[in-house]
Amino acid sequence: MRIEHLGIAVPSLGEVIEKFKFILHAEHIHTEEVPEQKVRIASFDVGGSALELLEPTSDDSPIAKFLEKKGPGIHHVALAVDDVEAELERLKDAGYRLVDEVPRAGAHGLKIAFLHPGSTGGVLVELCSR
Ligand code: CO
């Protein structure tokens, strides 16, 4: 397993993109809108893992709610796994609470599913596979 990406909630991509471009000496930035999650994403490759800046595209986006409650900052940790369905089943059998019983579509064409922070020490964990 490895960290696929860290999701960072921001009210607006513009200024923060410039900050991370500078910090990371980045030239190539992948941007994408993910309608299923009501976010616009800017992602930076960092040694094979990514930093993903997440901007809400509507007031009822989960990211908008997060920003309201906690302000900008790290929103979730995404782990790359071989088979999301198999991992969900394994964790559910072990008593973990799942946000998603069935994987959904994420950025970069990944299959993703979230584990409930109540089962992970307060961290929103995303599992993803190709
Ligand atoms: Co993510």
**Is residue 105's pLDDT more than 90?**
no
Average pLDDT, the chain: 94
User: Residue 22 has what pLDDT?
Assistant: 96
- Whether the pLDDT of residue 106 is over 90: the answer is no
Distance CA 62, CA 37 (A): 7
How many Cα atoms within 13 Å fall on the side-chain side of residue 120? Answer: 17
Candidates 102, 89, 94, 84; CA nearest to 120 is 94
Q: Which two tokens stand for residue 84?
A: 């999301």
Gap from CA of 79 to ligand 1 centroid (Å): 9
Distance 6 CA to ligand 1 centre (A): 7
For residue 39, name the pLDDT band (cuts at 50, 70, 90): very high
* CA–centroid distance, residue 26 to ligand 1 (Å): 20
More confident site: 124 or 27: 124
